[in-house]
A and B are shown apart, each in its own frame.
Chain A
Amino acid sequence: MKAHDYSIATYDVLNSGTEPTVALTGLAQVLEKRGHTKLYSTVLRGLVHLLEQRGETSAHVSVAREQDIKTLKKEITNALHQLGAEGPHTVHVDGSLIGGFVAKYQNRIFDTSYKSQLVSLYRNATR
């Protein structure tokens, strides 16, 4: 598949040590030259997929408040372990969660936010 071939080639270029901006600019130029610009988004998705497969993306954790990073440290570590994310992770504060946290890694999610539980409670009670 053409898009997949581009994704593999771009991944190999990145692996060889080329700067990401340089690699992606080069990719865009090659696609334009060959008249394959429409494949750009598909190629990028494939590239992200390859990076995920080979464990090179980090987990992402959202908490409701700044202090929850410390108070929920044990639960967050446990969740990341269940998700298979062993490396470093990024943290983001999202007040709309109300409480708890949401951890995402590759295509898996661990959600203990108060928001999702309250939404579920409301929908089940009012069905």
Chain B
Amino acid sequence: MSTTIIERIKKEIAGLDTTGAVAESGTVISVSDGVAEVEGIRDARMMEMVVFDDATNKTLSETLATDDVLYGLVLNLEEETVKVVVLGDANRVAEGMCVTRSGKLLSIPVGETIVGRVVNPLGEAIDGKGPVTATKDMPLERVAYGVMERSAVNEPIHTGIKAIDSMIPIGRGQRELIIGDRATGKTTIAIDTILNQKYEPREKRPICIYVAIGQKESKTARIVAKLEEAGAMEYTIVVSTSAANPSPLLFLAPFAGAAIGEFFMEQGKDVLVVYDDLSKHAVAYRQMSLLLRRPPGREAYPGDIFYLHSRLLERSAKLSTELGGGSITALPIIETQEGDVSAYIPTNVISITDGQIFLETDLFNKGIRPALNVGISVSRVGSSAQTKAMKKVAGKIRLELAQFRELEAFMQFAGDLDEDTKQRIERGQKYTELLKQDQHQPLPFYKQVVSIFAANNGLFDGLSQQNVIAAVEALLDMVERDRPEIFKTLESERAISDTLEQDLVKLIADFKSTHANLYTTA
């Protein structure tokens, strides 16, 4: 037997309270579909945790042979009874079972050691690496910080995706919705954002929390493996509930993610939380509410479905300096059906968040990946959350793409267009090509700035659309190899000074002369 286990047992024995105390207990009078009706615990509070005593009429060895303690959550307070959702295997609950109040509202044990771990919404480790050492219990339900406790969102969080960082910039403390049909790259954007944080200096690197709500376990396992491979698990926590988990755990998962985020935010740290995805969360809440016999509303969702998501997302904030200056940035994900963003849940979440990133299947199928529709995607925080360097270069790309979108319809009349229109269309196509990016290849912001600056200052002149990516990659390699101080200057100063601008212009000219093979006309 290892020393660690012996020490733990000694500690538990020393802390054992043998005096006993009065606890309020009730009896299960019925259980079905994961909801137990309990009478006797009349003083139970809403969202209080209760414990099902499945040790009654069992010997000690029989009790120890079963799984861990079975918790329940009080969700309906009725005239004679309370309804409790079972947070675990409901098959273990039987009529007549004793239920004891814990006196605690639902909370999750959190500590510094939770970073790098995969946990369930109750804080239990599910990655097989032993228990998480907790230092504090964070309540899952909590009132969001008020107006006076917050400060303006003005610090960027870089996703590593050129299209987003240049035109839909996200700030620390913002809520930016990622919305699109299935298989359009929503999770990829979220994971790439997490991967990109490794380029941030350690003291400014946000803690990332990926909340998997009702996802396939194979998908979550793939994501964890990808994060581990890239070294991102050093600063990431995964809260996982699979499709096989009961709906109460799916309901609690995003709140658990928010609670863990608040633990770090209150220490003055920045946190990024990804909720993947809130559509499944809404469905789980609907299922639970129907089983609790709450009146169904539109599309059978309960009446407080908006409040469910608004109170969750309001917990993302940028705190004032007096409170430590920490932040929680939220990237909720919503899955639409056939591009219908006017459906109930999507419109709810769009109205809550500070902007949205629309992903379209058509664009994805055309090979434009990430499949962002930059025309209708927006960030309400805007350039306040951009570095000076990016602000300087992003304006032109936005304008070029806006003009390109207007002229796109005329492309079929290519033979009849004037020269200026043809050039605008060509430039738009090249910029579109520039914004394409491979999956899981986030680009640090200084490289994005150099590539967009080059595009704005003649890199595309004489270059065919097919050679855009090759030219940009070759340019970045050349800077990395011959002029690495350019990247270092951009990384530290985050602005393009006049000297740097001249350097870059000269660099582009040098590049074009040394890579003439890319500029051969078709």
Contact = CB atoms under 8 A, between A and B. Distances in A.
Interface of A: 1, 45-46, 49, 79, 82-83, 96, 98, 100, 104, 106-112, 115-125, 127
B25 A109 contact: yes
A83 B39 CA distance: 18
B18 A112 contact: yes
B60 A111 contact: no
B487 to A, nearest CB: 47
B80 A49 contact: yes
Contact of B64 (A45, A96, A108, A119): A119
Given A96-B60, A107-B26, A111-B23, A125 B8 contact: yes
A104 B25 contact: yes
Interface stretch (B9-17, B183-191, B193-201, B248-256): B9-17
Interface string B240-252: 0000000000000
B100 interface: yes
B69 interface: yes
Contacts of B24: 107-109
B22 interface: yes
A16 to B, nearest CB: 25
Nearest to A49: B80
B68 interface: yes
Contacts of B59: 96
A109 B58 contact: no
B41 interface: yes
A121 B63 contact: no
A109 B100 contact: yes
At the interface, is chain A mostly helix, strand, loop or mixed? helix
B520 interface: no
Interface in B26-45: 26, 29, 39-42
A124 B25 contact: no
B18 A45 contact: no
27 contacts: A45-B39, A45-B80, A96-B57, A96-B60, A104-B25, A106-B40, A107-B24, A107-B25, A107-B26, A107-B40, A107-B41, A108-B23, A109-B22, A109-B100, A110-B22, A110-B23, A111-B23, A112-B19, A112-B20, A115-B55, A115-B60, A118-B60, A119-B55, A122-B64, A125-B8, A125-B9, A127-B124
Interface in B251-300: none
A116 B520 CA distance: 82
B5 interface: yes
B63 A108 contact: no
Contacts of A45: 29, 39, 80
* Closest 6 pairs between A and B when the two form their complex, measured CB to CB: A112-B20, A107-B40, A109-B25, A96-B59, A127-B131, A125-B12
B8 A110 contact: no
Contacts of A115: 55, 60, 63
A107 B23 CA distance: 9
B60 A108 contact: no
A83 B21 CA distance: 9
Contact of B80 (A46, A100, A116): A46
B98 interface: yes
Contacts of A121: 9, 12-13, 16
Contacts of A122: 64
Contacts of B55: 115-116, 119
A80 B183 CA distance: 63
B20 A119 contact: no
Contacts of A116: 55
A79 B39 CA distance: 23
A79 B25 contact: no
Contacts of A111: 20, 23
Given A45-B29, A107-B40, A112-B18, A123 B69 contact: yes
Contacts of A120: 16
Contact of B20 (A79, A123, A125): A79
